[in-house]
Amino acid sequence: MSAEWIAGTVRGRLLLERRLGEEPARGLAAQSSFAAAQRLLLASPYGRELGAAQELAPAQRAVAATALWHLRILAGWLPPDGAVLLRAIAAWYELVNIEHHIAWIVTGAGSPPPFELGGLATVWPRVEPARSLAEVRAALASSPWGEPASEEPPALHLALRAGWARRVIDHGGAAGEWAQAALALLVARELLLGGGEDPRLLLALPGVSASWLSARSVPELAARLPARIGWVLHEVERPEQLWRAELAWWRRVEDDAQALMRSPVGSPALVVGTVALLAADARRAAQALAIAALGGSRRMRERADAAA
């Protein structure tokens, strides 16, 4: 156990003190307008990035940017192998940047400012100047993300998720199982709610079995999943209920993360738990903003409580 690992995990515990928390998030969601919720959030740790955001989407992005900033701080305290672990999990932010850039290339429509990745970036500095999908594909092919099957947007979409999951499975420690369960949920959506894309494309996702692709219902797919990840679909009977599976995924991640926080100081498991709890809190804060923007709907608050 190195001094850097000890320092990093201690710093991570301090970062967890910057979370909003469940009860304040409920108070945020109970506000009758976005403006009222924003005023409350400005006084929270998320106020650093929130600034003068006057609309929901930029405000939610600011919440995510605050969580990313905390990860960048944490990465600076960890040894090189800890930074690899953190960079793999935090690659989701790079994925978002790349997907917005792809959308801009395809449609020409404006996109939100990219997340500032700092030392957590792996390929974004090479993707950002790309002006064609072929250039994006070439940049990904020579990076840890891996080469997409083609430069078509659906192939890029799947390749990015496959690359993120593979990196988390290989380097993310306890987060690997979460990534595998997330892929199972992705397969359920693409297979049962998708727009007719060739399901064989899903075989590019790590761990996906050909036997999954013949499932015609959520329970049938759940029965074909390995036991270690089948839980993600257990609360769902119909494809239109897959949002419940997403809630179940977040509950499991947060529960597992709480358990990981009982690991010894200096343990990589503490870093994984810290990252997961920071992400869960940011999601909760962003969701509370959305509920307030809808007038603090009781039904939406109940759905948020179900996710807690």
**Whole domain around residue 118: which residue ranges?**
3-307
In angstroms, the CA 21 to CA 17 distance is 9
In angstroms, the CA 39 to CA 34 distance is 9
pLDDT averaged over the chain?
Answer: 92
In angstroms, the CA 299 to CA 303 distance is 6
DSSP-based three-state secondary structure for 89:
helix
pLDDT digits 0-9 by tens, 186-233: 999 999 997 667 888 899 899 999 999 999 999 999 999 999 999 999
| Mean pLDDT, range 270-299, rounded to an integer | 91
pTM surpassing 0.85? yes
| Mean pLDDT, range 237-257, rounded to an integer | 95
**And the tokens for 107?**
């449609």
Total domains present in the chain: 1
CB half-sphere exposure, 157, CA atoms < 13 A: 10
In angstroms, the CA 260 to CA 269 distance is 6
User: What is residue 216's predicted lDDT score, i.e. its pLDDT?
Assistant: 93
pLDDT digits 0-9 by tens, 6-23: 999 999 999 999 999 999
In angstroms, the CA 80 to CA 270 distance is 16
Amino acid, single-letter form, for residue 56: L
Higher confidence at residue 124 or residue 201?
Answer: 124
Amino acid, single-letter form, for residue 127: V
Q: What percent of the chain has pLDDT over 70?
A: 95
| Mean pLDDT, range 82-89, rounded to an integer | 95
**And the tokens for 280?**
């869960």
In angstroms, the CA 115 to CA 63 distance is 11
In angstroms, the CA 73 to CA 180 distance is 27
User: What is residue 52's predicted lDDT score, i.e. its pLDDT?
Assistant: 72
pLDDT digits 0-9 by tens, 251-275: 999 999 999 999 999 999 999 999 9
**And the tokens for 115?**
């997340």
pLDDT digits 0-9 by tens, 163-178: 999 999 999 999 999 9
Amino acid, single-letter form, for residue 78: L
pLDDT band of 296, cuts 50, 70, 90: confident
Higher confidence at residue 301 or residue 142?
Answer: 142
In angstroms, the CA 160 to CA 162 distance is 5
In angstroms, the CA 228 to CA 181 distance is 8
> Considering just the CA atoms, what is the radius of gyration of the chain in Å?
19
User: What is residue 198's predicted lDDT score, i.e. its pLDDT?
Assistant: 81
User: What is residue 307's predicted lDDT score, i.e. its pLDDT?
Assistant: 45
pLDDT band of 308, cuts 50, 70, 90: very low
In angstroms, the CA 37 to CA 287 distance is 11
DSSP-based three-state secondary structure for 274:
helix
User: What is residue 201's predicted lDDT score, i.e. its pLDDT?
Assistant: 86
